[in-house]
Structure 1
Amino acid sequence: MVMQKLSERDRASRIASCHAILENVPNNAVVLSSDEAHFHLSGYVNKQNFRYRAENNPRQLHERPLHSQHVTVWCAVADFGIIGPYFFDEEGRTVTVTSQRYVHVLNNFLKPKPNEIGNPVVWYQQDGATAHTERQSMEVLRQMFPGRLISLRGSMPWPARSPDLAACDFFLWGYLKSKVYKNKPRTTDELKAAIRHEIAEIPQEMTTRVMHNFRLPTADMIDEEVSDCGDMK
């Protein structure tokens, strides 16, 4: 998505969030970085997951198929691997992500997972999408992750317009899309199967490195802030 240049207010909120994460989330904590993405059967890339920042609107046209068949996928990246995929569909038809459907994912798909991996203390990160932050979603999340929710309106803030800081955006979706379309799936069932296969093939060493890098942008941003303060002296 083509977006306006980040403002100084955006920059300040991003740095404040980075400080909060580095100061409050232990280095050995399990962080689940979660999100959804569309995978179109045509191979069309959803511009929501690939963003470019510019000071002015470039007035560029982006051609895309009309009514392209697609699947909507939820995943969470952690140092031990990927939780997911979960497909938002009903009776074989892709549906919109609503708060009610998101709560279903949390209660019926995500909630049992910590027990499967040894019941660690888990922090949960999500962006500020409406389905994520509506009242019923937040009530469930606060119960599941008391004091450990990294989110708009969570126990720790997540800054708006920051896909570059989230593991699904800076790693998972681009990596998967580079893999799943190689064999040109012809149906949504084949597309789902390809997504499941490629996620299963991601080695734990890769996700461990990804979640290590989850902290690096925050540290880099704080280093930049310190450098800027030094320049002002």
Structure 2
Amino acid sequence: MARDMKMSHTSMQKILKEDLEYSPFKKQKIHGLSRKNVADRVTRSRMLLKTHAAHSLIFSDEKLFTLAVTLNKQNDRVYGQSLRDIPASKIAVERYQNVSAVMVWGAISSKGKLPLLFIDRGVKINKEYYLEFVLKRHLLPCAKELFGDEEFCFEQDSAPADKALVVQSWCKDNLPCFISSFEWPAVSPDLNPLDFSIWGYMLGKVNNVKHMNLDSGEDLG
């Protein structure tokens, strides 16, 4: 900016901070959307608003949690007059070899959350596992308990297991209502509160606890 205005960097900083009282903000990364993505989002979102009541929706998603503190070297700062004045517990971030990780499936609605489902270690969520252990044994009984006699409408993302024909057919035949892979807008993590809010909150909670094994991580459920 200073170069474009043909002035010194110091003068530009003075104008921005003192005269204009501006503060610097980092650019944010967002998902890229093509024109087709934008058009599809508008069309499908309008359709969903017409056909589904928001209070009945159950949003779902999976998240892989690494049980170790994440460090952002740019933003994670500790203030002090000198480095030696700062306690080691405040400035040091421990790193471990062979850190454990756990895959979690979660679902929430306006009525509350379903219990977290911790995926068996080493298991890849394919269509068979997803259908049997996530949908049949977990989602369906937990959703019925949460909603009682009221109808609910299930949303899932566009993961390969979620889009599988056998999964889509089961949802159609066994759930009161579900949003098919053809209805849900593609490239839309900003439409799922688990994606844009809940997982980030939980990651912060995980990072505040000293984990050495998966059992301690599962206490968050």
* TM, length-normalised to structure 2: 0.69
Partner in structure 2 of residue 129 of structure 1: 159
Q: 1:107 to 1:181 in 2, by over 3 A?
A: same
Question: Quick one: distance in 2 between partners of 1:80 and 1:87?
Answer: 22
- 1:12 alignment partner, one of 13, 25, 39: 39
Q: 1:114 to 1:192 in 2, by over 3 A?
A: closer
Q: Deviations over 1:9-40 (max 9, x none)?
A: 0000111121011111135x411000100000
Cα root mean square deviation, aligned:
2.3
Pairing 1:104-123 to 2, within 5 Å after superposition: 104=132, 105-117=134-146, 118-123=148-153
Question: Quick one: distance in 1 between partners of 2:39 and 2:64?
Answer: 30
Specify the code of the residue in structure 2 equivalent to 1:102.
Answer: Y
> Helix, strand or coil for the counterpart of 2:208?
coil
Q: Deviations over 1:73-123 (max 9, x none)?
A: 00111111111210110xxx2321111111121111111123323131111
Partner in structure 2 of residue 163 of structure 1: 189
Matched, 1:75 2:102: no
How far is 1:68 from its partner? 4.4
Aligned length: 168
Specify the code of the residue in structure 1 equivalent to 2:102.
Answer: V
Partner in structure 1 of residue 131 of structure 2: 103
Q: 1:183 to 1:4 in 2, by over 3 A?
A: closer
Question: Quick one: distance in 1 between partners of 2:186 and 2:199?
Answer: 19
Q: 1:74 to 1:67 in 2, by over 3 A?
A: same
Question: Quick one: distance in 1 between partners of 2:155 and 2:208?
Answer: 30
Given that 1:128 and 1:151 are in contact with CA atoms closer than 8 Å, whether structure 2 keeps it comes out as: no
Question: Quick one: distance in 1 between partners of 2:69 and 2:118?
Answer: 17
Partner in structure 1 of residue 118 of structure 2: 87
Given that 2:168 and 2:180 are in contact with CA atoms closer than 8 Å, whether structure 1 keeps it comes out as: no
Q: Structure 1 unaligned runs (5+)?
A: 46-64, 197-233
Question: Quick one: distance in 2 between partners of 1:114 and 1:82?
Answer: 9
Partner in structure 2 of residue 227 of structure 1: none
Specify the code of the residue in structure 1 equivalent to 2:172.
Answer: R
Question: Quick one: distance in 1 between partners of 2:209 and 2:163?
Answer: 37
- 1:183 alignment partner, one of 209, 212, 219: 209
Pairing 1:18-33 to 2, within 5 Å after superposition: 18-27=45-54, 29-33=55-59
Q: Structure 2 unaligned runs (5+)?
A: 1-28, 72-95
Question: Quick one: distance in 2 between partners of 1:108 and 1:30?
Answer: 21
Partner in structure 2 of residue 54 of structure 1: none
Larger radius of gyration: 2
> Helix, strand or coil for the counterpart of 1:140?
helix
Q: Which has the higher strand share?
A: 1
Given that 1:31 and 1:78 are in contact with CA atoms closer than 8 Å, whether structure 2 keeps it comes out as: yes
Specify the code of the residue in structure 2 equivalent to 1:181.
Answer: N
Q: 1:188 to 1:9 in 2, by over 3 A?
A: same
Specify the code of the residue in structure 2 equivalent to 1:122.
Answer: F
Give identity over the alignment, percent. Answer: 29
Specify the code of the residue in structure 2 equivalent to 1:134.
Answer: A
Question: Quick one: distance in 1 between partners of 2:48 and 2:69?
Answer: 35
Q: 1:143 to 1:169 in 2, by over 3 A?
A: same
